[in-house]
Amino acid sequence: MTIMKIKFDAKKRVKLAQGLWLMSWFAVMTGVLVFGLGLFFKIELRKRSEMMDNKESHFVPNSLILMGILACLLNAFGGKICYDSLDPTKFVRWKAILKPYLVVCFLFNVMLFLTAIMCFTMRLALESTLANGLKSGMRYYKDTDTPGRCYMKKTLDLMQIEFRCCGNNNFRDWFEIQWISNRYLDFSSKDVKDRIKSNIDGKYLLDGVPFSCCNPNSPRPCIQYQITNNSAHYSYDYHTEELNIWTRGCRESLLSYYGGMMNSIGALVLLVWLFEMAVMVGLRYLHTSLGSLSNPEDPESDSEGWLLEKSIKETFSSFAEGLKSVGKLNKVEAGAEGGGGEAQTVATVS
């Protein structure tokens, strides 16, 4: 029982071939688009790689790049096949390749679908990566004289300004680390000595944040030091003050930025996947309709096209048998050599 049989006369076949040719070339362009999206995503991840710990995986953008290249190649090849299918003499050389080509297309579509799903699920992995990365980044904020970490301050400042965020979870993260380097602390000052003594680890902690946490929308000049001390500033209550510094944490900010990017990329890749499926189905119909001409001598005769010759179960079982027979062939060959040896021993015994 064939699946989804459709009758094809010569005109319909020609139209199908022409339509598929156009679609194939359009699919090549969508392949380029997927490649471009993967590249863009990879660059964006690398731009902020200092905010992520080194274990972040570039698996998703790498697979997008690979899928894009494969899509271009497969669809260009498919377009060539469609173009030649209109000419029976040229089509003969593609007949043998077409079936394995369709199997490869099917596998590619499965992989493309999985890649699209992975785009949506990468968010979880990114969350933990960002949390660790930001925490260590903030610890190295003051180390502007240590080679290898001297740009952490600039990176963090620019990131907090661009993404309008402060700290890891919120601005209080800055209260728990020493972000002012010892080089700029006057150790002869009483205030500094008191603060350092009152801390177990001897760190200089204060209730202040760097300038990059300041919110330009605030009506008053930025209060970045003694934030929790209401009496240090005139007409100031830090519980009700919302516009002074950014209240959002950078982890949340970056996550929503990358999350939005991944959602859009995932949605686009799903659309591309649907299009690729349509192209593959069209090619299958073209393949079967050209293979089942009612009058093999006359290329203009009617034919039928289908998706699968037998039902799904039967196709699977015949496919499994095909695999088994390939396995059996190897066994038979190995057995033939062993059997020949046994026959010899039997002959000698008898």
Residues that bind another protein (CB under 8 A): 144-145, 150, 153-154, 157-158, 161, 179-181, 183-186, 189, 210-212, 214, 216-222, 224, 233-235
The sign of the dihedral angle between the CA atoms of 9, 10, 13, 18 is negative
> Rounded to an integer, what distance in angstroms lies between the CA atom of residue 27 and that of residue 25?
5
- Shortest Å, Cβ 180 to another protein: 5
Between residues 218 and 315, which has the closer beta carbon with respect to another protein? Answer: 218
- Shortest Å, Cβ 258 to another protein: 22
- Shortest Å, Cβ 159 to another protein: 10
Between residues 127 and 157, which has the closer beta carbon with respect to another protein? Answer: 157
Question: Does residue 81 sit in helix, strand or coil?
Answer: helix
Between residues 235 and 348, which has the closer beta carbon with respect to another protein? Answer: 235
Between residues 51 and 119, which has the closer beta carbon with respect to another protein? Answer: 51
- Shortest Å, Cβ 213 to another protein: 9
Category of 185 on φ-ψ map: left (φ > 0), alpha (ψ -120 to 50) or beta = beta
Residue corresponding to tokens 């944040």: 209
> Rounded to an integer, what distance in angstroms lies between the CA atom of residue 326 and that of residue 226?
78
Count of alpha carbons within 13 angstroms of residue 43, beta-carbon side: 6
Check if the beta carbon of residue 301 is closer than 8 Å to that of residue 295: yes
- Shortest Å, Cβ 227 to another protein: 14
- Shortest Å, Cβ 191 to another protein: 11
Rounded to 10 deg, the angle between the 250-291 and 10-47 helix axes is: 160
- Shortest Å, Cβ 167 to another protein: 15
- How many helices (H) and strands (E) are present in the chain, helices listed first? 7, 2
Between residues 2 and 215, which has the closer beta carbon with respect to another protein? Answer: 215
Between residues 118 and 222, which has the closer beta carbon with respect to another protein? Answer: 222
Residue corresponding to tokens 């271009």: 72
Between residues 15 and 220, which has the closer beta carbon with respect to another protein? Answer: 220
CA nearest to 220, candidates 234, 232, 239 = 234
CA nearest to 254, candidates 243, 265, 262, 244 = 262
